Structures are given as structure tokens and as C-alpha cells.
Structure 1
Amino acid sequence: MSLTYTNYLNVDKLLKLQEPKSEPEEHDEMLFIIIHQSYELWFKQILHEFDKLRTDLENGNTWASAKTMRRILTILKTMVSQIDILETMTPLEFNSFRGFLQQASGFQSVQFREMEIICGMRSEHIIKVHADQPELQQQLIDREKESTLWESFCKYLQKMGHPIKDPKRVNEQGLVHNSSEENQKTLVEIMNNDPEAALLCELFVDYDEGLQEWRYRHVKMVERTIGTKKGTGGSDGAKYLRQTLNNPIFPDLWAIRTQF
């Protein structure tokens, strides 16, 4: 058989992956499934880009790193905009099939947790959530051994000749790296005197801001859909999500804003 659009993309298989659980089938469950499946595909692509980004950074490749960061930022904006589609579903429409989801929850997304780990976040609770799926749990543990984005960026700055200190992993919960006043002084010098490295600094801030925007839109979507109810997976729903807001992953890049 010759290669076609359909068999190259496995369209037949792809279109069979939507399996609503509601009985009788509720119309809006299809939208819910497709949106979340597309999120998982975007998470997969971001993880794919993260692998390239860290390699390019550690090799001192400025423009390849910048190009990859811009792609990641565009994907992130696309993910945020998809919330607009999900918000066309009213609370009544979501609750028409919510009970059929049982314990399934976006809280259990392994790929999103992998993204968080690469961004430098750690959570013992998130690891324990997957205790009944040891292969997924090991996947997260293995990710924790990899370089964080900030570690790779610091290696890049060192390759560019800047006296940035290697970030130390000091926290087992939350952001693994503490901010560093010493590194902040170096970053101020970089912003003033190294336009190429400064460009990457700003792209990192763009990503940090975009991730916070994603979290904010996510929590507001949950609040308007289920209010203060518990999440389907047993999480605290919007209450838990609000705790993730306003937690920058590159605090040193935010701290230096007052020094210009």
C-alpha cells in the first residue's frame, strides 16, 4: 500500500480513540475527550521540544535554543486558547456525564507532571498518586534525574563566559532550586551587556508567564464549571489549582526586574 495522508497519520486509529462512557451518550462528552486528548498530544510535543532545547542550551547554541523556545511558547498559547472551546460547555452539560468519569482526572496527567519536573518542580504527593501504576511512577522518578530547564540554561550562560553558579537542588517539595542573589547580579550584567543571552532570558520569562497564564485559565475554567466541588480524582479541585498560581519557575529572572 502506498503512503497516504490517512495511513501516515493513522487517522482510522486516531478517530476510534474517543470512547464516551456516559449511558445514554451525552453530546458534550465527545468535546471533553477530544480537548483532553489534544492536550496530551501537545504535552508530548512540548516534552519533545524540551529534550532538544536542553541539548542546544548545554551546547551553547543560542539561535537553535531561541527557535525552540518560540515554538514552545506558541504551543503554550494554543493550549491556553483551547480553554475557550472547553468553556462553551456549561456546568449542566459537564455534570450530565461527570459521574461517569469515576476517579479519572486531569490531575493524573503523567505528561504534564513530566513537564513540571523538567521545569524544576517536585512533589512527593504527585509521585505517590501513581503508586498503583509503577511503570508511570518510575517514568516520573526517571525524569527527576534529568537536567531542569534552569540547570541547562545556567550551563549555556557558563559556555557564553558568564560567571553564573550552578543551581543546587535543595528542596524536595515545590521548586527544587532556590533563588540566588549572586546569580541575579550576573543576570543583570547579562541583560545590560549580552543581547543574545538577554534574548534567551526574556524567552524564559515568556515561558514562565505563559505557564502561569495556563494555570490561571485552568483554575477559572474549573471554578466556572464545578465551583468549589472536589475534583473527579479526589483532588481539591479549584482549591488545589489556586495553590499552584503565582509560583514562578525562574524566580531569579523575575527578581532582577527592579534593577533596571
Structure 2
Amino acid sequence: MAKTDYEKYINTDELLALQVTEDEASCDEEMTFQVIHQISELHFKLIIQYIHQADTYMREGGVERAVEKLNRVNMHLEHLPAVFDMVKVISPRDYHTIRLALGRGSGQDSPGFNEILRLGPTLWEPFEALIKKENLSLLELHENKSSYFALFQLMQTLTRFDECFQSFRHQHIQLVRRMIGLNTKSLKGVPAQMLERGAKFEFYPHLWQAISDLTDATGTSYDPKPLADKNK
């Protein structure tokens, strides 16, 4: 039977041939493991594309378009933990069978994840250029959000990106804990506890510090009322 246009466009034959066959699988759950990780790499591919686009828009002054692309990044990062939750249907015993079939392979070798880890901090340069163009500090941007609302939204979206990526890494640690435990080493000889150190890494520490600075600058009062822009 001739292929449909859908099959041709999606390359379904090639796509569905990328997984182990039942005869090749080390156990019944290996295809589950493989498909979930292939899905995650496709999510990473889209995230990487959106990061590049956001970078380009920021450098061109297209703040609203950059926010749009970063919102897509965050949408994928928010969804990815649910994708990896499906790994939990695999028993720890079967997981170890699959893990041994990986040889010295490790999730730490994911090209998509590692590229996001590399690209994330690079968005700081074009963002910083935008606020410097307005002669603004991060605290002043917080204090004058109505006057610079597009830039404020961009700052918030970058903060959310950092938060989502940290959250994804933390939830991945819980998955590792569930499947192999944290008091062990990866197949590459790296202690699983090292993942916890990575989960604390921040793309944009200055953005987090600015929130603390705003709290300090605001102070306390027994007469709460809406804070108006300081009209820098």
C-alpha cells in the first residue's frame, strides 16, 4: 500500500525503526526506556531552537518576540518531568537490566541536555545589553515595571527559564533516587550525589539577587499599599 502524505512527511517508517525490536530487547521494558529518552531528545531539540531564536530577537531589539520564544522553552521544560515520570513504570530490577545494556552510556551524555546547559547562560549578554541601553539596573527594572513592561516581562521569563531548568534537574534527581538510588555511582563512575550539586547551578544569579535586593529596598511597613513606579 502506498504511503500517505502524513507517513512521508513524518518519516514514520524511519522513526519507528529507531527502537529496539522485541527480539533485540534486553527485557520487556527496554522499548519504554528508549522511547521516553528519544522523546526527551526531541523536546531538547525544540528548546535549543527556541533559545537560539530568543537570542537573535534580543540582539535585534525584538523583546516581545524573545519573550514568546522563551515561554515556549519554559512550556517544554515544565512538560518534561511528566515525560520522565513514565520511566517509573519500569521496576528497579528491569531498569538495571536496561542500564547494563547501555554499556558505559549515561543520561549525563545527553547532547540536547548538555547543549541547553551550555546555551542557557549565553542569553545573559543580550539581555544585559538591553537593560544597559535603557540605563537601568535590575533593581530599577523591578521598581519601574510599568514604564519598562516589555523588558520586565523578559526578565521574568528568563527567571522562569532558570527556575524551570533547575526544577527539571531536581525532579530528575528524584527519578534517579527512585530507580537506582543516590548512594551509588553512574556507569561512568560518577557518584549519583553529584547530580544534587548540578541542580543548584543557576543560569542567571544576578536575576535572583535582584529579587533579594528588591525585598531589602522595600523594607517593612504596617501601612501596606500598592507600590507605584519610581519613575526612573
**23-32 vs 56-65, which deviates more?**
23-32
Which of residues 209, 216, 225 in structure 2 aligns to 1:255? 209
Shift of 1:34: 0.6
Checking the alignment, whether the CA contact within 8 Å between 1:83 and 1:217 is kept in structure 2 is no
Query: Runs in 1 of length 4+ with deviation above 3 angstroms?
Result: 20-25, 183-193
- Which runs of 5 or more residues in structure 1 are unaligned? 121-147, 165-182
Percent identity between the two aligned chains:
26
Which of residues 180, 186, 193 in structure 2 aligns to 1:231? 186
Judging changes above 3 Å, is the alpha-carbon distance between structure 1 residues 5 and 154 closer, same or farther for their aligned structure 2 residues?
A: same
Judging changes above 3 Å, is the alpha-carbon distance between structure 1 residues 2 and 25 closer, same or farther for their aligned structure 2 residues?
A: closer
Checking the alignment, whether the CA contact within 8 Å between 1:107 and 1:233 is kept in structure 2 is no
Shift of 1:21: 10
Shift of 1:208: 0.8
Deviation per residue, 1:1-32 (Å, 9 max, x gap): 88711011111001011126996630111111
Letter in 2 for 1:163: N
Aligned partners of 1:212, 1:117: CA distance in 2, in Å? 14
Aligned partners of 1:100, 1:88: CA distance in 2, in Å? 18
What is the aligned partner in structure 2 of residue 152 from structure 1? 126
Checking the alignment, whether the CA contact within 8 Å between 1:107 and 1:235 is kept in structure 2 is no
**185-194 vs 1-10, which deviates more?**
185-194
Aligned partners of 1:245, 1:231: CA distance in 2, in Å? 16
Aligned partners of 1:2, 1:94: CA distance in 2, in Å? 36
Checking the alignment, whether the CA contact within 8 Å between 1:53 and 1:65 is kept in structure 2 is yes
Shift of 1:188: 3.7
Letter in 2 for 1:157: I
What is the aligned partner in structure 1 of residue 134 from structure 2? 162
Shift of 1:79: 1.0
Shift of 1:104: 0.9
Letter in 2 for 1:89: I
What is the aligned partner in structure 2 of residue 118 from structure 1? 119
Checking the alignment, whether the CA contact within 8 Å between 1:6 and 1:12 is kept in structure 2 is yes
Shift of 1:247: 2.3
Aligned partners of 2:32, 2:110: CA distance in 1, in Å? 18
Checking the alignment, whether the CA contact within 8 Å between 1:91 and 1:225 is kept in structure 2 is yes
What is the aligned partner in structure 1 of residue 40 from structure 2? 39
For the pair shown, the structure with the greater C-alpha radius of gyration is: 2
Deviation per residue, 1:194-219 (Å, 9 max, x gap): 11111111111111110011010001
Shift of 1:255: 1.0
Q: CA RMSD in A?
A: 2.2
**49-58 vs 105-114, which deviates more?**
105-114
Deviation per residue, 1:150-207 (Å, 9 max, x gap): 112122334xx3225xxxxxxxxxxxxxxxxxx4444444546411111111111111
Aligned partners of 2:108, 2:93: CA distance in 1, in Å? 22
Aligned partners of 1:205, 1:81: CA distance in 2, in Å? 21
What is the aligned partner in structure 2 of residue 60 from structure 1? 61
What is the aligned partner in structure 1 of residue 156 from structure 2? 202
- Which runs of 5 or more residues in structure 2 are unaligned? 216-232
